[in-house]
Structure 1
Amino acid sequence: MTTHELLNSQNHAQLRLLPRRGAEPHFVQIVPSEFVAAAIACPILFSKDPGTGAFYAGVALGLKPGEAALETKEDRGGFEPLSLQRDGFFISGDCIAIDRGNARFSEVEGEPLFDSAQQPSTALRRMQRVLKQLHEGIEQTAALVRDLKELKLIEPIDIALSFDDGERLTLEGLYTVSRDALRDLADVDVLRLFRSGHLQLAYTVAGSLNQLSVLAHLRNRKLAAAR
């Protein structure tokens, strides 16, 4: 059960933070400041919010729900998505809210959220930075998507993969950046994208598709090990 509470030192002076637990999701939202680090190990793809229809960027940690091939930070070359780091914490207006029922919170073990002077601890300041990056990143994503859509650089991608156990997976509802469209851009548009920083991001997204074959290889390896 989700129980959101505004975080404050009066009500949560004894609260402590534990490492995140549980299975990794197979697709995780990220923001542009994470693209370069993510692309080292993960395919970056766009999807659409089912509620609003707006594009958002994410990384595939696995190829089907309930299954992550890149299960640990080490599997991902040290990359830990901000949206996973902030698990249990939310922005509520100008304040931070927490899901008090999240297993990360304890009053007996973990890192304290407030110090003896009831000021934010190192752990809470770290979480404040994460939330700030995510908040800013949502706006940065929207600006990136506007530019890419205006120049018709976003294209749907159908991914069909076959595995050694005979299973065939088809991934739908995903989008990438067209390398052909990037190559055909007018010089004035290339310069505009370069100046905004969006050209590098676009090429990073397009290049990260190479990681899909790595994910498929990892999945095959895990299937073989489980036999």
Structure 2
Amino acid sequence: MGTLELLNPVAHAGLRLDVSHRFNTHFVQIVASEFIPTMQDYPILFTKHPQTGSFYAGALLALEPGEESIRNDGVEPYRPADLIRQGFFLVDGQLAIDPDAPVFTPAGTPLFDANGEPGDALRRVQRATHILHHGLPETDAIIARFLALRLIEPIDIALNFDDGSRLRLDGLYSISLDVLHALSDADALDLFHRGDLQLAYAQTASVQHIRRMAQRRNDRLFVASA
């Protein structure tokens, strides 16, 4: 990451944002309010921050970096806030940019209009940073409650493809339905009243997308070999 600069409509009047580049990221962090929309398109899984070892929730956009997961029905997938805000950061409550981030390209969409006001792309970034800023503490608290009840466990993802290749996804975690269903009535009711139970079921249901992503990869391999 380069040196951050506070976003300024004068200094950054010519800055343009390449929206398409963001799907090169295959795993992005999400917050609790994004679980329901995300589960429609992507697997939701937990992993650990490499620096701190603390858990966070994320959407698996593709099986590997650089591989885009494209839906077969042509419907535009949900874009998590962390994906939208790539290249942007909050510094003391102000929006800052990493000018060296690959999302900024001459062929992209202008951040500001002719009057120096935020354009549509920048307004989407502003909304995304707002979602993350307010959602991360809430999500951390939810994950802490899941951990206290021993609901989060490693998930074994080993995929075999028709061309003989194999792929193993390590370091990922999911809610254990066995542990969830064995909770006491008091603990289950507490999760329900907090809204955590809905999120737990959304996460486990979303894991089915891994199988669909693997099938799409198989389909691409078949076309490439034909």
* Separation in 2, partners of 1:213, 1:76: 19
Give 1:109-120 correspondences, 5 Å limit.
110-113=109-112, 116=115, 118-120=116-118
Q: 1:225 to 1:3 in 2, by over 3 A?
A: farther
CA-atom RMSD in angstroms = 2.4
The offset of 1:18, in angstroms, is 4.1
Alignment of 1:155-194 (within 5 A): 155-194=153-192
What's the offset of the Cα at 1:67? 2.5
1:142 aligned to which of 136, 140, 144: 140
Which 4+ runs in 1 deviate beyond 3 A? 13-18, 71-77, 102-109, 118-123
Aligned residue number for residue 212 of structure 2: 214
| 1:71 to partner: Cα distance | 4.2
Q: How many residues align?
A: 225
2:28 paired residue number: 28
Separation of aligned partners in 2, 1:73 and 1:112: 31
What CA deviation, in whole Å up to 9, does each residue of 1:173-201 have, x standing for no partner? 11000011111111111121112111100
Is the 2:153–2:174 contact (alpha carbons within 8 Å) kept by the matching residues of 1? yes
AA at the equivalent of 2:55: F
Match of 1:96 in 2: 95
Contact 2:22 2:86 in 1 (8 A): no
Classify the secondary structure of the residue corresponding to 2:19. Answer: coil
My pick for the range that moved more, 1-10 or 92-101, is 1-10
Aligned to 1:204: 202
Identity of aligned residues (%): 44
Q: Under a length normalisation based on structure 1, what TM-score does the superposition of the two structures give?
A: 0.88
Segments of structure 1 that go 5 or more residues without pairing to the other structure are none
Deviation at 1:52, TM superposition (A): 0.2
Deviations 1:70-98 (A, max 9, x none): 14797675211211111221111111101
CA shift for structure 1 position 12: 2.5
Matched with 1:129 is: 127
Change (3 A) 1:189 1:162: same
Could you tell me whether the CA contact under 8 Å between 1:44 and 1:59 is conserved in 2?
yes
Distance 1:51 1:104 in 2: 24
Distance 1:108 1:23 in 2: 17
Q: Distance in 2 between matches of 1:18 and 1:61?
A: 18
Rounded Cα–Cα distance in structure 2 between residues aligned with 1:67 and 1:38:
18
* TM-score between the two structures when normalised by the length of structure 2: 0.88
Give the unaligned 5+ runs of structure 2.
none
Corresponding letter in the other structure for 1:161: L
Change (3 A) 1:12 1:26: closer
Is the CA contact 2:81–2:128 (under 8 Å) kept in the aligned structure 1?
A: yes
Partner of 2:12: 12
> What amino acid is the match of 1:39?
M
